[in-house]
């Protein structure tokens, strides 16, 4: 029982409670939503422990990815420019992540990293007016699916990180399902830091935890549908991708 609580407290209960708090605070303090991804850090530190600044382990630097990406959301500027900045930051993060095993670099791994950059870049440049109406739900489905698949695929740590992201998105994913609340749905910019974390976690699982390429590609495509497909179709496509990845695994 104790082990079970140690598993679900940081991965589910704490992030859901923090998500609910931000959901309520948003009505009184609208700008608080821009820092939504920050509430991932308490669970990250609980699960991962305090970062070792001398470590080159990729997962040990996810706190920095969170802070920088949230900073790019908070800073004022045009959405197109900030989206481009997020894409550049994703490219830098992927390069840094792959450096310890750069000697294993081949054309297949290069194509996988390029696909990750294309998916992230597409999400970052899709304007709110043209994005799907259920991006938070699609991202929640994708992160939750990755949590299960990542755990089964050999890394409980990465699975927990992904489940925490899904828990943070829970309140806002449910909000998108109700027509009255849909008008208050999250802008795509608010979701960018969690997209960054999701893609980087997925690439860490692929490169360092031997997640099979097929499920990894399906999981990579899964959140993209929520940003580019019409209402409901995005969530359905994400669910299909996650289900196919689980069956494949």
| The predicted structure's pLDDT at residue 117 | 93
Q: Coil, strand or helix: which one is 192?
A: helix
| The predicted structure's pLDDT at residue 10 | 76
> Tokens 């830091």 belong to which residue?
193
User: What count of other Cβ atoms lies within 10 Å of the Cβ of residue 113?
Assistant: 19
Alpha helices in the chain (DSSP H): 2-8, 14-28, 40-48, 62-74, 79-98, 107-125, 135-152, 156-175, 179-182, 188-208, 213-221, 224-228, 233-248
Q: Which residues of the chain have pLDDT under 50?
A: 129-130
The Cα–Cα gap between 20 and 238 comes to 24
User: What count of other Cβ atoms lies within 10 Å of the Cβ of residue 225?
Assistant: 23
Instruction: Name the token pair of 66.
Output: 């969170």
| The predicted structure's pLDDT at residue 131 | 52
């Amino acid at each position: 029982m104790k082990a079970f609580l140690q598993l679900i407290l940081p991965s589910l209960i704490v992030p859901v409670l923090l998500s609910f708090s931000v959901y309520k605070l948003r009505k009184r303090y609208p700008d608080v939503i821009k820092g939504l991804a920050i509430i991932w850090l308490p669970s990250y530190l609980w699960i991962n422990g305090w970062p070792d600044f001398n470590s080159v382990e990729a997962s040990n630097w996810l706190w920095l990815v969170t802070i920088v990406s949230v900073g790019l959301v908070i800073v004022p500027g045009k959405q197109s420019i900030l989206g481009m900045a997020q894409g550049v930051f994703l490219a830098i993060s992927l390069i840094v992540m792959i450096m310890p095993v750069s000697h294993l670099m081949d054309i297949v791994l290069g194509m996988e990293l390029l696909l990750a950059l294309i998916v992230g870049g597409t999400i970052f440049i899709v304007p709110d007016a043209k994005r799907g109406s259920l991006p938070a739900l699609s991202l929640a489905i994708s992160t939750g699916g990755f949590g299960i698949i990542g755990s089964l695929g050999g890394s409980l740590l990465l699975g927990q990180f992904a489940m925490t992201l899904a828990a943070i998105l829970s309140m806002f994913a449910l909000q998108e399902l109700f027509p009255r609340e849909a008008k208050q749905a999250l802008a795509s910019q608010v979701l960018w830091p969690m997209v960054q974390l999701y893609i980087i976690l997925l690439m860490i699982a692929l490169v360092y935890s031997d997640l099979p390429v097929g499920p990894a590609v399906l999981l990579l495509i899964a959140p993209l549908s929520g940003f580019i497909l019409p209402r409901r179709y995005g969530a359905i496509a994400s669910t299909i991708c996650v289900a196919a990845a689980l069956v494949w695994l």
